Structure 1
Amino acid sequence: MNLWIGRPGALREIQDKADSFDRSPALEVQEFRALSGAVTTWAPPVQPRRLTLRWTAMERDDFTHLDRLARRVDGPGPVAVLDPLSRNWLTAAQAAGTGSTGMWERNANEITLSGGTTPYSPVTVSVDAPPPAGAVLTWVIPRWRYYPVAPGTTLTWWTPSLAAAKAPLAGGYLYWYRADNTYLGAVAGSGTRPLVTTVPPGAAFARPGVAFTAKGSWPLGESVLAPGDLSTELLDGERPPGEGTPAYSITDYQHVAAADARYRDIGLDLVEVA
């Protein structure tokens, strides 16, 4: 999978591989030294991720797409970047099943979440008398609520910790939504194995979830949503530390026009926005 970039519903795959790809967070730690020599430091509570991308050459159509994004021709909104190097689109806390319970949504009063009092506290899911269709729990992100996707690409979704705990699942689900957030459809897996599927035409977002069919309580534990077929790797017990799927704003952009069909020396700088 190459890098995809754009607004949800209008993502484009950039065919040329970037020559450099730096996604280091901006720590912005400031150091203060007292007259005594003692040192204190200050850091902002949020360390946004920055992307610095550089290409030596790019096809004209791909360049035109980036040019429109950088100049905000189609609106000022943030852009999504589907990073081919990302191991898990879920946040670090979601992937580990820890932290604030606001990172999950419930479809019924019969399902509750507890714990998450600190960033490292495990979250427990409890189900009391699930409805006939099942008690559904879904994973969400702040900016778009659902996860941006590109039609035709392959995704893997699984909750290995719930499977290992033998939680009574009707299956793992991926719910598809259009760019205007209207519901498009869903695909279901067994819950005991990773769900590997292709994003359907018209889908701009995916909403991962599971449906419980019996009462009980289980640690939420690990989960993974990532591009490609990861079934073998996940069944071997590998992954799922999360890296998140940030929304980005383009902060700098450079290029050198060429006489032929390709553009030269393209640079794009982006910063994560809330």
Structure 2
Amino acid sequence: MTQLGLWIGLPGALREITDGASAFDRSPDLGVTEFRSLAGGVTTWAPPVRPRRLKLTWDSMQQDDVQHLDRLARRLDQLGPVALVDPLARNLLGGAQAAGLGPSEGKWSVTGTEIILYGGGVTEVTPNVVSVETVPASGHTDLVWRHPYFHGYPVAPGQTYTWWTPGLDAAGAPMLPARVSWYDASTVFLSESAASTSGRPAVVTAPPRAAYVRPYVAFTAKGMWGMGESVLALGDVSAALLAGDRPIGDGTPPYSITRYSHVASEGDGAYRDISLELVEVTP
């Protein structure tokens, strides 16, 4: 059986669970209800918000990792939600955000009126168009990919990430090499990392004290281009992206732990049959 590991914790204190999960259920909770009339007609209803649910089990686990999960479940350090880096997520951006679709609120941020996002509409199916209206004296203006809840996408020092905007590159948008900004747990800016050349993915490593990453692009000229696809992935996936892979956005939402249990052996102090259930926290 394939073993699955993951990172979980409060931003700035993500911990890797060193024992891989023996089972990981990430099936979407569609919440669809079916109604059947006396005449035989069938209608369905789906809720506008469909939170993701995760269920994980481990056959056994190291004591320090169990204690970490126990503190999170009991909310000893913070009452709010936890961050979790899904080991199966191929693109950490949200689904519509990764596709460049839908309303821009909560997905991107700009400085003043230097950049205007057109399109988007009120649904998640309309493409966004980036219009650079002004380039300041610095020589570039930035478009930042936002996390819907945290200050940035939660990271742990030493983790490697790949960031790229193949949609904007294919559209011919003039940009500096792809880049990211790192922040600590207090949201204080730490440093930046960037690709070595334009038109290629940036493969970057989270520096010491890093808790969040904010990916962005820096436009160097005025113009208008389709947003298209973008990818923020854990690990070095640059070769696959350059070969044409475009993984859909899985997202990295905040979660609340709804159930946690384990069995401790009195003799050897080992922990076994660990179970963890989480539900996505939605705005």
TM-score category of the 2 structures, normalised to the smaller one: over 0.9
Q: Which runs of 4+ in 1 moved over 3 A?
A: none
SS at match of 2:221: coil
**In the alignment, structure 1 residue 126 sits paired with structure 2 residue 134:** no
Q: What is the TM-score normalised by the length of structure 2?
A: 0.94
Write out aligned runs for 1:207-246 (5 A).
207-246=214-253
**In the alignment, structure 1 residue 149 sits paired with structure 2 residue 155:** yes
Give me the whole-angstrom Cα distance separating, in 2, the residues matched to 1:168 and 1:121: 23
SS at match of 1:16: strand
1:31-72, CA deviations, whole angstroms, 9 ceiling, x for partnerless residues? Answer: 222222222211111111100000000000001000111111
**Pairing partner for 2:273 from 239, 262, 265:** 265
Check whether the contact 1:159–1:191 (CA below 8 A) recurs between aligned residues.
no
**Pairing partner for 2:77 from 71, 74, 77:** 74
List alignment gaps of at least 5 residues for structure 2.
Answer: none
SS at match of 1:161: helix
Give me the whole-angstrom Cα distance separating, in 2, the residues matched to 1:27 and 1:161: 29
List alignment gaps of at least 5 residues for structure 1.
Answer: none
Return 108-117 or 218-227, whichever deviates more.
Answer: 108-117
Amino acid at match of 2:270: R
Match of 2:60 in 1: 57
Check whether the contact 2:167–2:227 (CA below 8 A) recurs between aligned residues.
yes
SS at match of 2:117: strand
Shift, 1:119, TM fit: 1.3
Match of 1:177 in 2: 183
Shift, 1:161, TM fit: 1.4
Give me the whole-angstrom Cα distance separating, in 2, the residues matched to 1:198 and 1:188: 10
Amino acid at match of 2:21: A
Match of 2:263 in 1: 256
SS at match of 2:12: coil
Shift, 1:193, TM fit: 0.5
SS at match of 1:26: coil
Check whether the contact 2:171–2:225 (CA below 8 A) recurs between aligned residues.
yes
Give me the whole-angstrom Cα distance separating, in 2, the residues matched to 1:170 and 1:9: 29
Amino acid at match of 2:148: P
SS at match of 1:24: coil
SS at match of 1:162: helix
Give me the whole-angstrom Cα distance separating, in 2, the residues matched to 1:114 and 1:145: 24
Q: What is the TM-score normalised by the length of structure 1?
A: 0.97
Check whether the contact 1:80–1:247 (CA below 8 A) recurs between aligned residues.
yes
1:65-114, CA deviations, whole angstroms, 9 ceiling, x for partnerless residues? Answer: 00111111112110111112101000111111111111110023121100
Give me the whole-angstrom Cα distance separating, in 2, the residues matched to 1:262 and 1:247: 30
Amino acid at match of 1:21: F
**In the alignment, structure 1 residue 43 sits paired with structure 2 residue 51:** no
Check whether the contact 1:90–1:225 (CA below 8 A) recurs between aligned residues.
yes
Amino acid at match of 2:114: E
Check whether the contact 2:96–2:124 (CA below 8 A) recurs between aligned residues.
yes
Give me the whole-angstrom Cα distance separating, in 2, the residues matched to 1:209 and 1:132: 19
Give me the whole-angstrom Cα distance separating, in 2, the residues matched to 1:90 and 1:136: 18
SS at match of 2:19: coil
Shift, 1:185, TM fit: 1.4
Q: Percent identity?
A: 58
SS at match of 2:217: strand
Shift, 1:140, TM fit: 0.6
SS at match of 1:170: coil
